[in-house]
Amino acid sequence: EALRRAPVAPGSHVIDGERRQASGGGAMDVISPIDGSILTTIPRGTREDAEIAIGAARRAFDDGRWSELAPAERKKILLKWAELIDANALELAVLGVRDNGTEIGMALKAEPGSAAATIRFYAEAVDKIGGEIAPTGPGNLGLVHREPAGVVGAIVPWNFPLMIGAWKLGPALAAGCTVVLKPAETASLTLIRIAELALEAGLPAGVLNVVTGEGAVVGEAIARSMDVDVLVFTGSAATGRRLLEASAQSNLKRVYLELGGKSPNIVFADTPNLDEAVKVSANGIFRNSGQVCVAGSRLLVERCLHDAFVEKLAEHAQDLRVGDPLDPATAAGAVNSQRQLEQNLAFVEEARARGRRIVTGGDRILQETGGYYMAPTIVTGVGPDDRLAREEVFGPVLAVLPFDTEDEAVAIANGTDYGLAAAVWTADLSRAHRMVRRIRAGVVHVNTYGGADLTVPLGGVKQSGNGHDKSLHAFEKYLNLKTAWIKL
């Protein structure tokens, strides 16, 4: 309760080991989606702010103050950082919820908790990843060094700022890189806070810098910089495209993208536990108000089960408590922004105009609070070519499509430009494995939705992106291979 009302100090950049207030760009308001009020301000970073931060990261990398620290020492600092994040978990979670609207139950699990776990995971690997000796013929020695890639630019979104931020920061810092991080305009506060905690943990100045502000200004400056070696991004496909262009027009920095999805959740009539499938499917699309990159936003149901499944799902959706994200009983909190809410509603309006059936939801609710809330929405009769079946909504709107055969399910599932996540519900083991092979996606869940932990990679195929977050594979983005070829 006290945290809910605590005044929030204005955010600041964190550059070269110091908090920096707004410079030439002034400040921008941070609107809380809980009630539409102004929570605080953050600096509206300028191109120059970004360049100063990149310069600091460049110097910190080039002088080896981080990359040449003994691995055990780097590990110790990162572990200390994770400990400080855990120690401040409640404060961070509440601050994050006030900033971005995610329900507190989810935020507590997915935000500080998972950020600390992620940093710990990579910290523990710091002194366990070495190079290779190549199997050369006699007379030569081939050594493969793994070196930190340099200065990393990280541009992250607002739906899970700490979790996704840590997916980039953990392996980048563990690998020995330095970082300039740009949080999303509507979710900067917790990332600023953990950057301060990193300094407290002993991370040398300039190793982790945070610059807040607009994507088109700060983000562009990072993407176009000649001094950034690797760019990592989670966000929209449109921005991802711009980042690749910026790389091509500057220094050909490597660009790793984690973009959107239109992930199919495929329910066969022989699903082992119908109630579980209903509950987990609802969770897969409605948690965090659908603002999840791997959200199961297309439900494909075998025709003979379609009506019964939709009926149960609609009942379940109507029972979900939407509202105040700081209330622990809330199942889905606020939509992140007015803009996002309007975008969600436009998708529903279009479906309505096409004669699709809005089984439940479809509207803005709790308008009297001043906050941005939307009822969990289920739309049936959606055609495979509808915009609702092909484009990412990033809101609590589920498109339902029936199918008759396995082949048809695969064709619909693969029929979008995206390929991030998917799920298959069936009791037939062979079919489950067949579907895993046939669906073009980075992760396929079987008889569940979501929940894949840190030990496995997450990354998309097709226009959902390239490269992977999580697991030891994530290191590859932040390392360069260098060969030493020695004549003996």
Smaller CB distance to ligand ADP: residue 236 or 448? 236
The residue among 236 and 480 lying less far from ligand ADP, judged by its C-beta, is: 236
Rounded to the nearest whole angstrom, what is the least distance from the CB of residue 454 to ligand ADP in the complex? 22
Asked if 374 and 368 count as a contact pair (C-beta separation under 8 A), the reply is: no
Assess 219 for contact with ligand ADP (CB under 6 A).
yes
Question: Rounded to 5 degrees, what are φ and ψ at 47?
Answer: -60, -40
Whether 258 is catalytic is: yes
Q: Which residue number, 219 or 323, has a Cβ lying nearer to ligand ADP?
A: 219
What minimum distance in Å lies between the beta carbon of 295 and ligand ADP? 13
Considering the complex, state which of residue 156 and residue 332 has its C-beta at the smaller distance from ligand ADP: 156
Closer of 103 and 185 to ligand ADP (Cβ):
185
Asked if 184 is part of the footprint of ligand ADP (rule: CB under 6 A), the reply reads yes
Query: Under the criterion CB under 6 A, does residue 239 sit at the interface with ligand ADP?
Result: yes
Q: Which residue among 80, 146, 182, 445 contacts ligand ADP (CB under 6 A)?
A: 182
Among 235, 361, 459, 467, binds ligand ADP (CB under 6 A): 235
Given candidates 76, 242, 440, 462, which one binds ligand ADP under the rule CB under 6 A? Answer: 242
290: contact with ligand ADP by CB under 6 A: no
355-394 positions binding ligand ADP, by CB under 6 A: none
The 3-class SS string of the chain reads: CHHHHCCCCCCCEEECCEEECCCCCCEEEEECCCCCCEEEEEECCCHHHHHHHHHHHHHHHHCCCCCCCCHHHHHHHHHHHHHHHHHCHHHHHHHHHHHHCCCHHHHHHHHHHHHHHHHHHHHCCCCCCCCEECCCCCCEEEEEEEEECCEEEEECCCCCHHHHHHHHHHHHHHHCCEEEEECCCCCCHHHHHHHHHHHHHCCCCCCEEECCCCHHHHHHHHHHCCCCCEEEEECCHHHHHHHHHHHHHCCCCEEEEECCCCCEEEECCCCCCHHHHHHHHHHHHHHHHHCCCCCCCEEEEEHHHHHHHHHHHHHHHHHCCECCCCCCCCCECCCCCHHHHHHHHHHHHHHHHCCCEEEECCCEECHHHCCCEECCEEEECCCCCCHHHHCCCCCCEEEEEEECCHHHHHHHHCCCCCCCEEEEECCCHHHHHHHHHHCCCCEEEECCCCCCCCCCCECCCHHHECCCECCHHHHHHHEEEEEEEEEC
Residue 216 binds ligand ADP, judged by CB under 6 A: yes
In the bound state with ligand ADP, the residue whose beta carbon lies nearer, of 67 and 188, is 188
Of the ranges 33-41, 101-109, 211-219, 247-255, which one interacts with ligand ADP (CB under 6 A)?
211-219
Nearer to ligand ADP, 265 or 336 (CB): 336
Residues in 140-159 that interact with ligand ADP by CB under 6 A: 155-157
Which one of the listed residues 111, 220, 258, 302 is annotated catalytic? Answer: 258
Q: By CB under 6 A, is residue 11 in contact with ligand ADP?
A: no
Q: Contact region for ligand ADP (CB under 6 A) — 65-73, 171-179, 201-209, 218-226?
A: 218-226
Size of the site for ligand ADP (CB under 6 A): 15
Q: Least separation, in Å, of the C-beta of 117 and ligand ADP?
A: 23
Q: Does 23 bind ligand ADP (CB under 6 A)?
A: no
- Measured CA to CA, the distance from residue 422 to residue 437 in angstroms comes to 12
Smallest distance, ligand ADP to C-beta of residue 442, A: 18
Which of 236, 250, 369, 471 is the binder for ligand ADP (CB under 6 A)? Answer: 236
411 part of the interface to ligand ADP, by CB under 6 A:
no
Give residues in contact with ligand ADP (CB under 6 A).
Answer: 155-157, 182, 184-185, 215-216, 219-220, 223, 235-236, 239, 242
So which residues are the catalytic ones?
Answer: 258
